[in-house]
Amino acid sequence: MGRRLALTLAYLAYLLATAIGTERQKHHVQHGPCSYTFILPEVENCHPLKDFQVTNTLQRDSPPEDQPDTGQHKQGKAQKDRPSWQEKKLESLESAMENNTQWLQKLENFIQENVRSGMEEMKRTAVHTQTAAMLEMGTNLLSQSAEQTRKLTDVETQVLNQTSRLEIQLLEYSLFTNRLEKHILLQTQEISRLGDKNNFLEQRLLALEARYGKELQGLQSEKQQLQELLEKQSRLVSQLQGELGSSTHNSSVLQRQQAALTDTVQQLLAMVSNCNEISNTPKKETLHFKDCAAILRSGVTESGIYSIRLHNSTQTVKVFCDMKTRGGGWTVLQHRRNGSVDFHRGWRDYKMGFGEPHGEHWLGNDIIHKLTSSQEYSLHVQLKDRDGNEAYSHYDLFYINSEHRNYSLHAEGFSGTAGRTSSLTHTSTPFSTKDRDNDRCTCKCAQLASGGWWFEACGPSNLNGMYYPSSSNVVRYNGIKWYYWKGPNLMATMTTMMVRPASF
Ligand SMILES: *[C@@H]1O[C@H](CO)[C@@H](O)[C@H](O)[C@H]1NC(C)=O
Ligand SMILES: *[C@@H]1O[C@H](CO)[C@@H](O)[C@H](O)[C@H]1NC(C)=O
Ligand SMILES: *[C@@H]1O[C@H](CO)[C@@H](O)[C@H](O)[C@H]1NC(C)=O
Ligand SMILES: *[C@@H]1O[C@H](CO)[C@@H](O)[C@H](O)[C@H]1NC(C)=O
Ligand SMILES: *[C@@H]1O[C@H](CO)[C@@H](O)[C@H](O)[C@H]1NC(C)=O
Ligand SMILES: CC(=O)N[C@H]1CO[C@H](CO)[C@@H](O)[C@@H]1O
């Protein structure tokens, strides 16, 4: 470097010298901010060679022998005073050269230093600026990335928020769905249960409809019958009213006739006693049989009509005695056979009795009371249905109270074939007729069921009901009834109620 610089400088000096000519001795060289002044030796007589060569080292001017060399200016003088002057000059030149060389070296060093420092400075500044720029860019990037990161985190949190919200909603929905499913399940079960119930109810409804349809038909036909009956009865009532008028008129006539009759009877009795006295036979006892059992014990074994004298009474009563059934001795209280006698009667008829002992009849509550309260009696109820099947109900103890207690019934010790349970109410049920309602029903059983009986409300039996000659499927509330034998619709062709001493 230094060598090349020196070379350059030397060349520059030569160029200057050739340009300005030989007149100038001082030469200025401007290099950047530095200016250099070169003082060159005089070269007036020197002729530069065509082939000017610069060597690396400064060379001593050689004496001009064959050809003129670089130091031509010295050449001229060397011809005058060669040994001393030339040597001195050479020496000074050499030192100057040396100094110059040193200086140049210094300069070179300086320049090198400068250049290096400048370069370094430049480099450093460049690096600084670049670093700063890079740093700025970096910081920019960093801030940008931070911003991005922040935005990303924001977005992330939003997304997370959204996701969690959605999850919560989903959870809620699933819970809701579960609840709904459960609800639906319950509803379905409920519906099926209701459906079952509905089916059951429908079936029941159908059954009830069918049943009530039948009953309705029965009731309608019964209503018709009742209406007919009512008409008949109202006709009867008007007829009876008419008869009442005439009978009140006739009663005085009757009383007179009765008086006449009693007279005749007394005459007859007197005649009879006369006859008894005459015949002197103990026939008197036959008049004192108190019931059919007593008659049977007296030796009579034929069923038929006999007279009995009630206990503590002079009253004689004609009764039908059944001497065949279960050993005989039965005093008949009630008998139905063919519906020839109307049993739908009032209190008084039942009190006094009606019908004929050889046919259908009711013996009379007063007589029954007197008979059954004189000693312990058992009751036998004989029944026969349309097809001729017979059955019976038996009560070990039977009696009815007096009229003051409305002929209330007592029946104990049930047995028999006409039902496993007693169809007779054996509590102290009073007697009711269509005109004396003593039952425990808000209705009037005697009117509803017809006849006189110990109706409760209205109870499972009524042997004094309407006599229906033929059976039908129609339920009749007013027919002859012995519930526990044939249900509510027994069509008996024969009923008999009869008593016999319990001790028989
Ligand atoms: C979700 O964001 C809403 C507002 O946008 C805020 O009210 C709510 O508290 C956030 N929920 C969660 C779980 O961060
Ligand atoms: C009343 O007497 C008359 C004549 O004796 C008779 O025709 C009529 O049937 C009697 N009436 C009654 C209700 O007995
Ligand atoms: C029946 O006669 C007995 C005595 O023989 C008597 O003690 C009783 O009071 C009489 N009863 C009636 C209802 O007359
Ligand atoms: C019912 O029976 C009685 C007695 O046997 C008889 O007198 C009457 O004529 C009969 N009545 C009918 C409607 O069969
Ligand atoms: C008998 O029946 C009548 C009404 O029919 C009633 O006033 C009376 O209290 C009854 N007697 C008894 C003892 O129950
Ligand atoms: C010819 C010339 O200028 N020589 C000088 C070289 O440098 C020394 C010291 O620096 C001087 O003393 C000389 O005079």
pLDDT tens-digit profile of 344-386?
A: 999 999 999 999 999 999 999 999 999 999 999 999 999 988 8
The pLDDT assigned to 3 comes to 53
Query: What is the pTM (predicted TM-score) of this model?
Result: 0.46
Side chain identity, residue 6: A
Residue 309 CB burial class (10 angstroms; 0-12, 13-18, ≥19) = middle
Give the number of the atom of ligand 2 that is nearest the alpha carbon of residue 249. 1
Task: Give me ligand 1 centre to Cα 159, in Å.
Answer: 11
Q: Among all ligands shown, which has an atom nearest to the Cα of 434? A: 5
Closest-CA residue, ligand 1 atom 8, reads 161
| Domain definitions of the chain by residue range | 292-501
Question: Under a CB-based contact definition with an 8 Å cutoff, are residues 476 and 222 in contact?
Answer: yes
Q: What is the pLDDT of residue 45?
A: 59
Q: How far apart are CA 412 and CA 402, in angstroms?
A: 18
Domain 292-501: which topology? Gamma Fibrinogen; Chain A, domain 1 (3.90.215)
Burial-class residue 459 by CB neighbours within 10 Å (0-12, 13-18, 19+). Answer: buried
CB of residue 338 inside a 6 A radius of ligand 4 = yes
- Ligand 5 atom 5: residue of nearest CA: 436
The band of 332, judged by pLDDT with boundaries at 50, 70 and 90, is: very high
Nearest ligand to the C-alpha atom of residue 361: 4
Which ligand does the CA of 401 lie closest to?
5
Q: Is 102 in the pocket of ligand 6 (CB under 6 A)?
A: no
Q: Of 49-53, 67-71, 234-238, 245-249, where does mean pLDDT reach its minimum?
A: 67-71
Which residues approach ligand 5 with their CB closer than 6 A? 405-406, 430, 436, 438
Give distance in angstroms: CA of 379 to centre of ligand 3: 24
Q: Is 247 touching ligand 2 by the criterion CB < 6 Å?
A: yes
Which of 62-71, 129-138, 413-422, 480-489 is least confident? Answer: 62-71
User: Measured between alpha carbons, how far is 425 from 461 in angstroms, rounded to an integer?
Assistant: 8
Pocket test for ligand 4, best of 338, 356, 495 (most atoms within 8 A of CB): 338
**Mean pLDDT value of segment 180-202:** 93
Average pLDDT of the chain, as a whole number: 81
Ligand nearest to the CA of 253: 2
Atom 10 in ligand 6: residue holding the nearest Cα: 99
Q: Is the CB of 217 under 6 A from ligand 4?
A: no
Range with lowest mean pLDDT among 52-66, 135-149, 254-268, 287-301: 52-66
Contact 285, 297 (CB under 8 A): no
CA 209 to CA 127: how far, in whole Å? 115
Q: Is omega for the bond preceding 458 within 30 degrees of 0, making it cis?
A: yes
Closest atom of ligand 4 to 339 CA is 13
Q: Which pLDDT does position 266 carry in this prediction?
A: 78
CA of 485 to the centre of ligand 1 (A): 88
pLDDT of residue 60: 47
Section 25-48 average pLDDT: 65
The finding on whether 251 has its CB within 6 A of some atom of ligand 2 is no
Residue 150 C-alpha to ligand 1 middle, in angstroms? 18
Contact 247 CB / ligand 6 (< 6 Å)? no
Beta-strand pair 361-362/330-336: antiparallel
What span, in angstroms and rounded, lies between the C-alpha atoms of 99 and 79? 27
Give me the pLDDT at residue 80, please: 52
Cβ contact 495:355 at 8 Å: no
Q: Among positive and negative, which fits the CA dihedral 264, 270, 274, 277?
A: positive
Measured from CB, residues less than 6 Å from any atom of ligand 1 are 161, 164
Ligand 4 closest atom vs CA 356: 4
